[in-house]
Structure 1
Amino acid sequence: MRLKNLLACLFLCTIAISCIKDEAPNSEADIETCTLPGNVLNRDAIIENEKITLIVKKETDITALAPQFTLTPGATITPASGSTLNFTTPQTYIVTSEDKKWQKSYRIEVTTSGLTTNRYHFENVRFFSDDTSDKKYQIFYETDQYGRENMTWASGNPGFALTGVTGDYTAYPTYQSDGGYNNKCLALTTRRTGSLGNLMNMPLASGNLFIGTFDVLNALTNALTATQFGAQFENIPTHLKGYYKYKAGETFYVVDKTIPEKLKPVPGKKDIFDIYAVLYESTESLPMLDGTNILDEATETVLAVARIDNAKETNEWTEFNLPFIFREGKTVDPVKLAAGKYNLTIVFASSIRGNYFEGAPGSTLLIDEVELGCEGE
C-alpha cells in the first residue's frame, strides 16, 4: 500500500511538473510598481496605462535618477530597471512580455509638484490605442503656455472599454464635442454597459472626468475604489467656476439584480449631473480618496468641498461658480501645504448617482472653460 501511495505521488508530481513545463509564457507587459532609491519620493508613483508620474521632494537632483520597477512575471524593460537617467525631460521605457509578442511603451515624468494648472479648456485629446483599435477612446489633457502637456485627466473610459463597446470614441461615456462655450468642450453621457455590465451588476456607466487615476484592473470587481481621486496641490483653493449645458435622459433607472436587464425604471424621477471639487490631506494610512469616501462627511482628511447645489437642465451655456467651504475645525497647515501633503480633485459626472450605477441612459453634460481660483491670485 505504501508503494502504491508512493507511485501515485510520483505520478502526480510528474503531471504537475509537466503542466509547469507546458505552461505558455506570459503575454502581459505592464509596470506594476515604480520606486526610486533613497528618501526622495514625496508620494507613491502614479501609474497610469501608458504614463508614470514621480513626484519628488523639491531638493531632489532629477538629472540622475534610477527608477526601479516590478513588472508582470517574465517581462523585461528597456532601459533596464535601475538605470540612471536625466529626467529633466520625460523618459520612455519599453516593456516586453515574456512571450516576446507584446510591447508596451511608458512615458515617465518626474516633477516636484502635482497639479500645476488651474484653467481647463478641454481642447486637447489623444486616443488610447491597443491591438484591437488605433482610436479606441479619448484621453483629455491640458497644456501650458508653450503647448507642453502639464496635466492629464482621468475617466472611466478604460473600464467601459472592457464591456466590448462597439462604435467610435463617441460611443464612450467621456469624449470631446464641438460647439463648446469656446471652441470644443468636454462631453459626458450616461451609457448602458451591455451584457458584461449586467453580469457584473453594473448596468450603467455615468460619463465622468476627474483629477486622479482610474484603476482599470479593479474596475469590474470594485468600481468605487477604482476611481482614485486627487493630485498633489500646493495652493489654497477658493472657488471653481465654468460653464455647462445639461439634458437628462428619458428614463431614470435603479439597479434591480432580480431581473435580467438589471435596470428598474423609476417613473417620474429625473436624472441630474454633479460637479464638485475636494481638498484633502494625503496621509500615510489614506494617501488617496476614492468613490467610497471622497464625499463622506466622516472622512476626517477632507478639509474643504466645493459642490454644485443648483444643477438644472439647460440648453444654454450656464455659468457655475462654486465656493470652497471648509469643514468645521479644518484649516490648511502651511507646513504641510509647502511639503506637498495635500491633494485636490475636480469631478464632473453626467449622473449624480452614477457611482451606484443609477441614472438615465442618454443624460448628457457639456462642460467648458473651467477655472480653479486660489488665494493670492
Structure 2
Amino acid sequence: MRKILLASLAAVFTLGLMSSCSKDDDGPGPDLTDYAAKIAGIFKGDMTVALGEAQPGAPTTEKIYVTRTGENKVTMEIKNFTYEGMSLGNIEIKDVAVAATKATDASAAYKCAVTGKGTVSINLNGVPLTADVEVSGTVANDKADIKIVVDAAGLKVNVGFAGDKIGADTPDYALDIAGTYTGKMIVTVGDTPVGPTKQEIVFARQNENVVQMSMEDFSFGGASLGKIVLSDVTVTKKDAGYTVAGEGDVKVSLAGNPLTVKVKLEGTVENKATELVMTINVPGVGDVKAEFTGAIEYVPSDQAELLSIEFADNAKVAVQPATTDGKNYTFAMTADATADDLKGLVPTIVVSEMATVVPASNKTVDFSQGAVDFVVTAEDGTTTATYTVACVGKQTSLASFEEWEKEYLVLFPGGSPMEVGMQPIASSGWATSNSAAMILSDVPYKPVSPIDAGYKGKGAQIYSIDARTYYEALPTMVPALAAGSLFIGEFKLNMTNTLASTRFGALCDTKPTFVSGYYKYAPGDSMINNIGEALKDAGTDECSIVAVLYEVENEEDETLDGSNVLNDSRIVASAIMTSGEQKDFKQFGLELNYTGEYNPANKYKFAIVCSSSKNGSGYKGPEGTVLGARGSMLIVDEISVYSAF
C-alpha cells in the first residue's frame, strides 16, 4: 500500500492544475486582478493520506510553495516531500492557471476555486499504469483547502491539504539533518565493549522538526534484533548544529520471537556528521549501549595496518611474533615443540580500525609449511597490505644467568691463579672480559658481574670502565675505555694481541635461526676516544648484541675474536642489534641472516657477544676512534637460542 501511495503522489503533482479565482467585488466590468500575485507565497499546513475508504493516517506538516510565473499563472512546489519516513524529493507543478470566480464569503479578500481533471502515468511496483486524477479545493483569504483523488486501476488514494499562507519560510530542522549516515558503532553489554563495526543510521523527516531514526541488522553478543525504527525523534537547533532526542517502545524480533524493547536516543548533528548514544533495554538482558559516529559524506578509511599478532595462552610459543621492518613477523617455539604444533596455532590479530584480515583473527592457521601471508584490507575495500609471519625455530638453549662462580686468571705457566671477578658457571658456555681488566682497581664494577635484579631472578651486568689513568701508563696494553663483554666462548689472555683474547664461539650441531632475550641499557655520561680524550659532541653510547655462526675445520685452533667477529669470510650467518637508552627490560629478537650455505655435515661454531659499548673493540683503530662512554651499563637475561625444526 505504501508503494501505491508514493507512486500515486508522485503522479498527482505532475498534473497541470486548472483554477479560477474571484474578488469579493461583483460589480460590473472585467476583473483585471492578477490573482497569481495574490496567491503567491508559502502555504503551511497539514497533509493527510488515505487509501480507499480507510481513515486518513496521522497528518504531517507540509509546505506548498507558490511562485508567480506569469499573469494568472503560478508554479506550485512541495520541497523534500516525505511520508512515513520515505522521501519523494521535490514535487513541482508548473503552469497552474489562476482566473477569477465569484466569492461566497463576503469577508474574503479573494477566493479561488481550484478544480481539475486529467490522466497521469505512474509506476506501480515497476509496472507502468495510467491513473485518473481529480483535484478540487479553494484558496481564500490566504487559506488553502485542497483535495486530490488518484484512481489507479480501481484503487483510490485520497490526499488532503489544509494550510495558511505564512509571511516567511520557517525552518524545518528535520530537513536539515535528513539522510543516511555511515560510520562506526561500538556496542557495550555490561562492561564489555565490542567493535567498532560498520553501521548505517537513517534520519528520515517525519514531521516538521521531527525525524524517524532507523538502522538495519542491529546485533549484540551474537544476538540479532533486526531492524530498529524509532519514531518521533525531536530535532532542536543548538549553536552551529542540532541535538536529537527521542525514546519509545520498538517492536523487534529476537531468535525469531517477537519482542518489545525500550529505546532511548540522544546525540548531536553538525555539518552532516553525527554522534549518537542509544540505550536499548532488552528484557532479560538489560541495557545495551550503542555509540555511533558517522557522516552523510562518509569517507572510509584507507588504513590497512597489522597492529599486533600473538598466540595467546599457547604454552608451546616461546617468543611471540615481532617485527623489525613492520612487514615481516617472526616467532619461536619451545624446546619440546614439534612440527605438528605449528599446524594448530590460533593467532589473535589486531588491525586498523574497520579493516579486515585474512586469515582471520582467532582462526586456526598452519605454519608447518613455512611463512604465512596475512592480507589486511582497509575499510575502503581497495587498499591492502600483506604481512608475513613465520616460525624461526624451536628453543635449543637458554641462558638464565642464575648460577655464577669465581673467575680466575693465570698469567704465566705455573703461576698462581688470580681472582678477577665472577662468571657464569663453566658448563653454561658463557665467558667474560673480566680478565682483560685484571689490573684495573678502584672501579665501581667489574666489566661483567651478576646482578640480583635481572628480568627473571639474576641477570648479567656488563659495564664500560673509564681506564684512561691506566692507558696513560700502559697504552699498548690497556685501552682508554674498557668495554665489558659477555659471550659464548672462552677468554685466553693474549698479551701481544689483546683483541684475540676473546675467543668467540662454541661447537654447534644445529642450525641456529633466532636469538631472543631481555635487556635494558643506560649509556654513560662522557664519550671517550682511543687516545684518551673526553668528547663533548660525540653523541650517546649504544650497546650491541651480536649472533654469528661460522664454519671451522679445526675445533681447537679456529675461532673468531674482537677483530673479526663481524667480517670474517668463514661466517655463514649473523645478526646484530644495537640500542640506546632502554630504562625498563625489553625483549630483543635477532633473526640470523644466512649469507653462506649451511651443510649439516660440516663443523660450525656459534657465538653470542653482548657489549656495553658497541665500538669498544675499536681501540686499535685509527687515532681518534670513538670507543664509547664511561659508565655505560647493559643488563641481559634469559637469552635463548632457537634452531630449525
Distance 1:179 1:284, change over 3 A: closer
Matching residue's letter, 1:120: A
* Alignment partner of 1:368 is 2:637: yes
Given that 1:240 and 1:322 are in contact with CA atoms closer than 8 Å, whether structure 2 keeps it comes out as yes
User: Aligned match of 2:566 in 287, 295, 315?
Assistant: 295
C-alpha spacing 1:267/1:308, structure 2 compared with 1 (3 Å): same
Instruction: Give CA-to-partner distance per residue, 1:63-110, whole Å, 9 cap, x none.
Output: xxxxxxxxxxxxxxxxxxxxxxxxxxxxxxxxxxxxxxxxxxxxxxxx
One-letter identity of the residue aligned with 1:289? L
Whole-Å separation in 2 of the counterparts to 1:133 and 1:278: 31
Tell me the amino acid that sits aligned with residue 572 of structure 2.
L
User: How far apart are the structure 1 equivalents of 2:539 and 2:594?
Assistant: 32
Cα distance in structure 1, aligned partners of 2:550 and 2:470 = 35
Relative distance call for 1:129 and 1:193 in structure 2 (3 A) is same
Pick from 402, 405, 428 the counterpart of residue 123 of structure 1. 402
SS at match of 2:629: coil
Q: Which structure features the higher share of helix residues?
A: 1
- For the aligned residue pairs, the C-alpha RMSD in angstroms reads 2.5
Opposite residue 157 of structure 1, the aligned amino acid is N
In the alignment, is residue 333 of structure 1 matched against residue 609 of structure 2?
no
Which stretches in structure 1 are left out of the alignment for 5+ residues?
1-115, 142-148, 257-261
Q: 1:231 aligns with which of 479, 493, 506?
A: 506
Supply the distance in 2 between the matched residues of 1:133 and 1:295 (Cα, whole angstroms).
Answer: 32
Which aligned pairs between 1:26-65 and structure 2 lie closer than 5 A? none
Q: What is the distance in 1 between the residues matched to 2:401 and 2:469?
A: 32
TM-score by length of 2: 0.35
Distance in 2 between residues matched to 1:155 and 1:129, nearest whole Å: 11
Greater relative contact order, per chain length (Cα 8 Å cut-off, separation 6+): 1
Q: How many angstroms does 1:154 deviate by?
A: 1.4
Partner of 1:319: 587
CA–CA distance in structure 2, aligned partners of residues 319 and 250 of structure 1: 25
CA contact (8 A) 2:396 2:643 kept: no
Paired residue for 1:153? 430
Matches of 1:280 and 1:269, distance apart in 2: 33
**SS at 1:304's partner residue?**
strand
Residues 251 and 267, structure 1, Cα contact 8 Å, conserved in 2: no
Residues 1:193 and 2:193 aligned together: no
Deviation of 1:316 after TM superposition, in Å, equals 0.8
Can you list the C-alpha shifts for 1:256-297, whole angstroms capped at 9, x where unaligned? 2xxxxx23414241100000110000135971111121101x
> Which of 453, 477, 480 is matched with 1:179 structurally?
453
Could you say which residue in structure 1 is the equivalent of 2:421? Answer: 137
* Residue aligned with 2:461, SS: strand
CA contact (8 A) 1:306 1:323 kept: yes
Q: Quick one: distance in 2 between partners of 1:138 and 1:197? A: 24
| Change beyond 3 A, Cα 1:221–1:246 | same
Q: What amino acid maps onto 1:265 in structure 2? A: L
The match for 2:481 is 204
Note the residue ranges of structure 2 that are not aligned, 5 or more in a row. 1-394, 410-414, 620-626
The change in CA–CA distance for 1:236 and 1:160 in structure 2 (over 3 A counts) is same
Q: Tell me which protein shows more strand as a share of its residues.
A: 2
Higher gyration radius (CA): 2
Q: What pairs up with 1:263-278 in 2 under 5 angstroms?
A: 263-278=533-548
Equivalent residue, structure 1, for 2:574: 305
Amino acid at match of 2:542: I
Give the secondary-structure state (helix, strand or coil) at the position aligned to 1:245: strand
For residues 196-248 of structure 1, the C-alpha deviation after alignment (integer angstroms, 9 at most, x for no partner) is 333225111111101112121x1x43221111111110000110001100000
User: d(CA) in 2 for partners of 1:253 and 1:233?
Assistant: 37
Q: How far is the alpha carbon of 1:300 from its aligned partner?
A: 1.9
Which of 255, 278, 281 pairs up with 2:530? 255
Deviation string, structure 1 residues 311-335 (Cα, Å, up to 9, x no partner): 23111111101101011xx121121
Distance of 2:519 and 2:421 partners within structure 1? 22
TM-score, normalised on structure 1? Answer: 0.58
Q: Distance in 1 between matches of 2:548 and 2:606?
A: 6
Q: Distance in 2 between matches of 1:332 and 1:186?
A: 32
Q: Secondary structure at the match of 1:225?
A: helix
* Aligned residue number for residue 94 of structure 1: none
Assess if the C-alpha contact under 8 Å between 2:540 and 2:580 holds in 1: no
1:75 maps to: none
In 2, Cα distance between the equivalents of 1:290 and 1:350? 17
Maintained 8 Å contact 1:160/1:193: no
Measure the CA separation in 1 of the matches of 2:489 and 2:417.
Answer: 25
Measure how far apart 1:140 and its partner are: 1.0
- Cα distance in structure 2, aligned partners of 1:312 and 1:373: 25
Look up the equivalent residue of 2:609 and give its one-letter code.
Answer: V
The percent identity for this pair of structures is 29
Match of 1:348 in 2: 610
Distance 1:156 1:278 in 2: 18
Look up the equivalent residue of 2:564 and give its one-letter code: N
Local SS of the residue matching 1:291 = coil
After superposition, the Cα gap between the structure-2 partners of 1:266 and 1:228, relative to the gap in structure 1 and judged at 3 Å, is farther
Residues 165 and 132 of structure 1: is their aligned pair in 2 closer, same or farther, counting only changes over 3 Å? farther
Equivalent residue pairs, number: 235
Partner of 1:109: none
Contact 1:254/1:266 (8 A) holds in 2: no
> What SS class does the counterpart of residue 509 from structure 2 fall into?
coil
